[in-house]
Amino acid sequence: MNLCLCNLHKKQQEQRNYHLTLLIMISSIALVLKQIQTLEEFEMTNKELKRLSVVDLMKEKEKYQVKDDVTEEVVVERLGVVVVLRKPEKSLCVDTMKMARDENNDTDADEYIVYNTMIEPNLKDPELLAAYGCKTIPTEIVSKIFDPGEIAQLSEVAFELAGYKKGGVKAIKN
């Protein structure tokens, strides 16, 4: 009986991961389409750019230095609430990306990064986890509060805070 429940849980998790992967791909395509610039727009932007120099880097160190204490307030429209995500460390991003590619992994990658970057509300609160029955698999708290599409979007925001977004760096073609 327990083996059947484990297999059922694993199959449900695999289906959820598959659907979330599709949602992420659709979201990524939508982002790419949003960020496509016409040649004219690109040329106008290109004219305004200047080369970054060592002098600039030293003179405006605060401007150019990577900041770790970055947070973002995000509205979850369905719930009518604001939540706060913090910028994930590189290791968390790498672990999450590995998780997303691993077919044998039982933990949902998007749930994992949302669980580890949401600071308001604190999803790691032991009383909250107990109230939602998530003591054994704490990351499940995410799917008990947020819909799959919301989880994918929150995950996307977390990755964007760490600089993982389409269109942030572009090659200049002469």
**Closest C-alpha among 36, 46, 154 to residue 96:** 154
d(CA 138, CA 79): 21
d(CA 71, CA 81): 16
How confident is the model at residue 43, as a pLDDT? 56
- Dump pLDDT digits (tens) for 3-19: 555 566 666 677 777 76
Domain ranges, ordered by start, for the chain: 2-41+68-161
Question: Torsion angle of alpha carbons 110, 111, 114, 115, nearest 10°?
Answer: -150
The two three-digit tokens of residue 68, written as one number: 């770790």
Where do we find the tokens 């077919």? Answer: 103
Residue burial 145-162, b: 16+ Cβ < 10 Å; e: rest: bbebebbbbbbbbbbbbb
List Cα–Cα distances, 153 to 40, 66, 83, 107, 138, in angstroms: 31, 24, 12, 18, 20
pTM above 0.75, yes or no: no
Query: DSSP assignment, residue 89?
Result: P
Average pLDDT of every residue of the chain = 81
Q: Could you tell me which residue, 40 or 98, shows the higher pLDDT?
A: 98
Q: Which CATH number fits domain 2-41+68-161: 3.40.640.10, 3.30.2220.30, 3.40.50.10800, 3.40.50.2020?
A: 3.30.2220.30
- Dump pLDDT digits (tens) for 21-63: 766 766 666 555 555 544 455 555 556 788 888 888 888 888 8
The CA-based diameter of the chain, rounded to the nearest angstrom, is 68
**Closest C-alpha among 118, 145, 119, 111 to residue 131:** 145
List Cα–Cα distances, 45 to 37, 40, 50, 63, 110, in angstroms: 10, 9, 10, 20, 34
142 in Cβ contact with 151 (< 8 Å): yes
